[in-house]
């Protein structure tokens, strides 16, 4: 990692960009206080990312069914289109869920 001041960065920017291209980080300072960092940009993958947690050599296999569309019932559940069995029991007891408050007695 190189640390430089602004004046030096202006004068030798091409040099520092070459250093960054080779993988180095350059920190730019104003009065010896770091204010910016020039870092290399990550390059895009040249091959697609492998699917799964481990390399294929270790015996992981992906079945053909993995790429099949999901069943309609499961899609409806994910999209929230089916009733929620956990919350339905609360709807039946909604009176119990209300806060116990005395009736308001507003007088003029």
* Domains of the chain from N-terminus onward: 2-38 (3.40.1620.10), 56-95 (no CATH)
Structure tokens at 50: 């492998």
pTM score: 0.43
Lowest mean pLDDT among 14-18, 20-24, 69-73, 86-90: 86-90
Burial class for 78, CB neighbours closer than 10 Å (0-12, 13-18, 19+): exposed
Q: Nearest CA to 24 among 42, 8, 38?
A: 38
The closest of 89, 107, 105 to 97, measured between CA atoms, is: 89
Q: What distance in Å separates the CA atoms of residue 22 and residue 82, rounded to the nearest whole number? A: 55
The better pLDDT of the pair 59, 56 is held by 59
pLDDT for the residue numbered 63: 80
At residue 48, the pLDDT reads: 83
């Amino acid at each position: 990692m190189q640390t430089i001041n602004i004046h030096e960065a202006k004068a030798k920017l091409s040099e520092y960009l070459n250093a960054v291209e080779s993988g180095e980080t350059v920190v730019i300072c104003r009065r010896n206080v770091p204010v910016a960092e020039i870092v290399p940009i990550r390059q895009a993958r040249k091959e697609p990312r492998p699917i799964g947690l481990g390399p294929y050599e270790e015996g992981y296999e992906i079945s053909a069914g993995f790429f099949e569309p999901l069943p309609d019932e499961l899609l409806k559940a994910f999209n929230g289109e089916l009733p929620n069995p956990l919350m339905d029991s609360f709807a039946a007891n909604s009176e119990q869920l209300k806060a116990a408050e005395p009736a308001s007695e507003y007088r003029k």
